[in-house]
């Protein structure tokens, strides 16, 4: 029980700024299979660690494969690509500023977001409890509390969208998506 509360608290703190209204449905479905590939995953490993072993740095082979799968699926998604185009045109200064981050910092942010995307599965096993915990941590805007209590699936969707947007934004900043 303590472990669950710790995981929930950590996830809630990391995603607190992600609960924004999103009007479009974009991204990859929960059921997209993730498979190991030796192409872009290797490049990500080399940038973050200086070696291709996948065991010494913070980014495992599985992390790289999962990131590659999300990026590849996102590249196929018309709405995601439209979002990227809009983001690039409307936020050029912010993107340029973020591009001064080191590749390790960008990959670290992508890994943290990926980990949170995986934790969502665990957090929302009990959707009502997830709403209570996120509310308790102050992660839900007071204007949205009633809506999310009534429809915890909406909170899950909004949280997933926020994490997806964060991951894609970092992938763009890191040059993994054009």
Between the CA of residue 118 and those of 66, 80, 83, 142, 159, what are the distances in Å?
Answer: 10, 20, 23, 26, 12
Is residue 87 domain-resident?
yes
Per-residue DSSP letter, 178: -
Is residue 115 domain-resident?
yes
What pLDDT was estimated at residue 43?
A: 41
- Mean pLDDT computed over 68-87: 94
Measuring CA to CA, which residue among 28, 25, 48 is closest to residue 112?
48
Highest mean pLDDT among 14-23, 24-33, 85-94 belongs to 85-94
Least confident piece of the model among 17-21, 28-32, 115-119, 166-170: 17-21
Measuring CA to CA, which residue among 84, 69, 70, 9 is closest to residue 35?
69
The number of domains in the chain is 1
Find the domain containing 121 and state its range: 2-15+29-173
User: Which is more confidently placed, 47 or 59?
Assistant: 59
Is residue 33 domain-resident?
yes
In the block, residue with structure tokens 């990391």:
14
User: Which is more confidently placed, 131 or 47?
Assistant: 131
What pLDDT was estimated at residue 57?
A: 59
How far apart, in whole angstroms, are the C-alpha atoms of residue 100 and residue 105?
A: 10
The pTM of this model reads 0.67
**3-class secondary structure, 36:** coil
- Mean pLDDT computed over 114-131: 92
Burial (0-12, 13-18, 19+ Cβ within 10 Å), 34: middle
């Amino acid at each position: 029980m303590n472990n669950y509360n710790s995981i929930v608290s950590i996830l809630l703190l990391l995603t607190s700024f992600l609960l924004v209204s999103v009007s479009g449905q974009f991204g990859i479905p929960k059921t997209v299979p993730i498979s190991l590939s030796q192409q872009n995953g290797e490049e990500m490993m080399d940038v973050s660690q200086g070696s291709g072993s996948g065991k010494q740095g913070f980014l495992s082979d599985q992390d790289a494969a999962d990131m590659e799968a999300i990026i590849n699926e996102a590249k196929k998604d018309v709405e995601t690509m439209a979002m990227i185009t809009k983001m690039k045109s409307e936020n050029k200064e912010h993107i340029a500023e973020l591009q001064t981050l080191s590749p390790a910092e960008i990959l670290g942010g992508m890994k943290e977001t990926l980990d949170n995307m995986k934790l969502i599965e665990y957090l929302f096993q009990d959707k009502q409890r997830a709403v209570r915990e996120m509310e308790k941590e102050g992660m839900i805007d007071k204007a949205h509390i009633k809506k999310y209590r009534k429809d915890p699936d909406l909170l899950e969707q909004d949280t997933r969208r926020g994490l997806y947007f964060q991951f894609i934004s970092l992938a763009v900043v890191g040059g993994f998506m054009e």
